[in-house]
Structure 1
C-alpha cells in the first residue's frame, strides 16, 4: 500500500508538471515549458516503476507517457518521427526517431532497444530528458519487435535500423552505437558482433549466453566446473572479443547481468586488451515495497559514456 501511495504521489506530480508546461506554452516561454515537460516524463517513469506490472495504474501511467511523448513533439517543436523501417519483402519495423536537431551537421546516433518490460514509447519517454541537448539522434525500437524473430533475424532487423540512420544527412554513419536495455542487452551484443559498423555498444558482452551455457552444462553433467581458470576466462570473454568497438556493461539493478559476473568479465577483457567498461546503477534502499534503481543517474551515465566514445570515434 505504501508503494501504491508513492506511485500516486509521483503521478500527481507528473500531472502538475504537465499543467505547468501547458501554461508556459501559452505564455510563449518554451524553454521553461520544455523543462516542465521533461520533469513530467521523469515523474511518470518513477510512478510506473513503483506500481506492479499487472496493476491497472501501470497501464494508466504508461498511457500518460505515450501521450506525453506525442504532445511534447507537437507543442515544442522537437520532431519525434514515427517510422516504419522496411526490413525485407514482408517485414516492417516500427520505430521512433528523435533527430539531434542539427540537420546541416552530421552527428552521432544511438539505436535504443527497450527492455522486455517496456515498449518503444515508454523508453523514449524515459530517455528524452537525457538525450535532449546532447547533439545525438536516437532511434528507439521495442524489444518485442526485435526478439520475437527466428534465430539471426534480430541482427538483420537492427542492421536495417543502422542502414536507415546511415542514410540520414544529419547522422554520421561512422558514429552509430547500440544500447540494449534489460534482456535487450544480449540482443545488442549479438548485433554488435554481427555488424562491424557499430561504433559503441551498451550490452551484456555475452554474459547472458555464457551464464546459460555454463548452467546447462552443469545441470546435464551434474559436475562442478573445475576447468582451468585460463580456459574459463577465454570462454567468458569470447563474445566480447568479437565486438570491434568499445563496450559498456550495465550490471545490477533491473538488468540481466550480475555484478560479480561483470567484474570477472571486465578483468578478463583487461587482460585481453578489450575496451570494456562497467557501470553499476545506484540502488535506492528502503524504498516503499523494496529497492528501486536510480534510472535517472544510470541513464545519464550511459549517455555520457556514449557521448565520450562517439566523440573519440569522430577523431579517429
Structure 2
C-alpha cells in the first residue's frame, strides 16, 4: 500500500513512499533497496542525505543509463572535493569525500541494464576512491592480492588497527555479485573503534563479474582457507583471534567456510539456514512432502561450525519470523555458543540484510565479536 506522497523530479523518476515511509518504485524493487542503502550509509559517513535526494531528483527511470550516470556525476563531484582538500593538506575532509565517492560509485555499479562503459567507469572510480581512502588513513590501509587458484587471486583491502599489534582481525566477505568497497563504509569504523583490524574481501578479483563455475561452494571454502593461511603469516595478526563476518544473510557460503575450517575464532553468518531453505524449496517442487518441515532437522553446516556463531535477521526479511525463531532455538540446543537475534519492525534493522538500519545491526554484531575475542574498552 502506498500513500500519495511523492518526490518531484523528472516525470518517470517520481518516487512513492511505502506505508513505512521508505521511498519506493513499485516496478523497481532493486533500485528502491539500493536507495534505502544509500540513505542508511549516511549514518556511517558513506553518503550525504541531501546529496542522495538531489541525485534522485535528476534520475529518469525511463532512461536505461540515467541511474548510473547521475550517481557517477555525484561521485565524481565528491572525488574532486577530496582531491582539492588533499592538495591543501586537509586530509580529514579528503578522506570523508573519498568515502562518500566510493559509495556513490558503488551505487552506479549495482543495478543491471547499464552500458559496459558506465559499469567500467563506476567500478574504476569506486576502486580508485577506495584506495585513496585507504592511503589517507592512519595507519594507512593496504591493497592485497591473496592467491586462490591458478587463474584467480582474491582482491582484498586490509585496514590495520590503530591501537595494537598482534590483535584480532575481522574478515568481512562480499558475497558473489557484491564489491568489497561497500564493506569499508559498513564495517571500518566499527572495527577500528574496538581495536580490530579489518580485511575486506570479495570474489570478483579485478573483474566486474564472475562466471557461474567460480561460485561453487567448495572453491569458496578453499578460498577462505587461503585467507586464513595468508593472515596467519602476516605480522601484527593474532591468528587465534580471526573472525569471519558475512555481508549478506541470504547465503550459506560463509557458514560453509566456518564449518570446514576450525581456525575461525567466531563467525557471524546464517549458520546454514538458507541452505536448509533452498533444500526445502527443491523438495516441495519435487512433491516430497516428507521434507516440508525443513527446519525440524539440523543440517551438516550448523552442526559443523565449532566456533561461537551469531545469526542476525530481520522480522521483515524474506524468511518468516516463526521459522527463524524455531531455527534459533534449534541452533542453541546443538551448539555450545550460538545465538540468533531477530530485529523487529518497531526497532528498525528489520529489512532483509538490515538495509534500513545497518548501524544498529553492526553495533550488535561488533559488540558480540568484542565479547568473543576478549577485547576490552580503554585501549590507548
Q: TM-score range by the shorter chain?
A: 0.7 to 0.9
Runs of at least 5 residues in structure 2 that lack an aligned partner in the other structure:
1-11, 14-30, 32-55, 60-66
Question: What TM-score, normalized to structure 1?
Answer: 0.75
CA displacement, residues 265-311 of structure 1 (integer Å, 9 cap, x when unaligned): 1132234455123355989x9xxxxx997648426633652353244
| Distance verdict in 2 for CA 1:247–1:151, change over 3 Å | closer
What root-mean-square deviation, in Å, do the aligned CA atoms of Structure 1 and Structure 2 show?
4.0
- Report how far residue 206 of structure 1 moved: 0.8
- Report how far residue 135 of structure 1 moved: 2.8
| Distance verdict in 2 for CA 1:15–1:210, change over 3 Å | same
CA distance in 2: counterparts of 1:305 and 1:241, whole angstroms: 21
Q: 1:132-211 alignment to 2 at 5 Å?
A: 132-144=192-204, 148=214, 152-182=218-248, 185-211=251-277
Runs of at least 5 residues in structure 1 that lack an aligned partner in the other structure:
286-290
Is residue 263 of structure 1 aligned with residue 330 of structure 2?
A: no
SS of corresponding position for 1:314:
coil
CA distance in 2: counterparts of 1:176 and 1:191, whole angstroms: 13
| Distance verdict in 2 for CA 1:176–1:76, change over 3 Å | closer
Question: What TM-score, normalized to structure 2?
Answer: 0.64
| Distance verdict in 2 for CA 1:159–1:55, change over 3 Å | same
What is the total number of aligned residue pairs between the two structures?
303
Q: Higher relative CO (CA 8 A, sep ≥ 6), structure 1 or 2?
A: 1
Specify the alignment match of 2:340 in structure 1.
Answer: 277
Instruction: Kindly indicate whether the alpha-carbon contact (under 8 Å) linking 1:108 and 1:171 is maintained by their aligned counterparts in 2.
Output: yes
SS of corresponding position for 1:196:
coil
Instruction: Kindly indicate whether the alpha-carbon contact (under 8 Å) linking 2:314 and 2:344 is maintained by their aligned counterparts in 1.
Output: yes
Specify the alignment match of 2:307 in structure 1.
Answer: 245
CA distance in 2: counterparts of 1:168 and 1:200, whole angstroms: 19
| Distance verdict in 2 for CA 1:109–1:303, change over 3 Å | farther
CA distance in 2: counterparts of 1:36 and 1:194, whole angstroms: 40
Q: 1:1-316 alignment to 2 at 5 Å?
A: 1-2=12-13, 5=58, 7=67, 11-46=72-107, 48=109, 52-56=111-115, 57=118, 59-76=120-137, 79-87=140-148, 90=150, 93-102=153-162, 105-124=165-184, 127-128=187-188, 131-144=191-204, 148=214, 152-182=218-248, 185-223=251-289, 233-236=295-298, 239-251=301-313, 259-272=321-334, 274-278=337-341, 280=343, 295=355, 297-298=357-358, 301-302=361-362, 305-314=365-374
Instruction: Kindly indicate whether the alpha-carbon contact (under 8 Å) linking 1:252 and 1:258 is maintained by their aligned counterparts in 2.
Output: no
Instruction: Kindly indicate whether the alpha-carbon contact (under 8 Å) linking 1:143 and 1:184 is maintained by their aligned counterparts in 2.
Output: no
- Report how far residue 312 of structure 1 moved: 3.0
| Distance verdict in 2 for CA 1:299–1:106, change over 3 Å | farther
Instruction: Kindly indicate whether the alpha-carbon contact (under 8 Å) linking 1:11 and 1:43 is maintained by their aligned counterparts in 2.
Output: yes
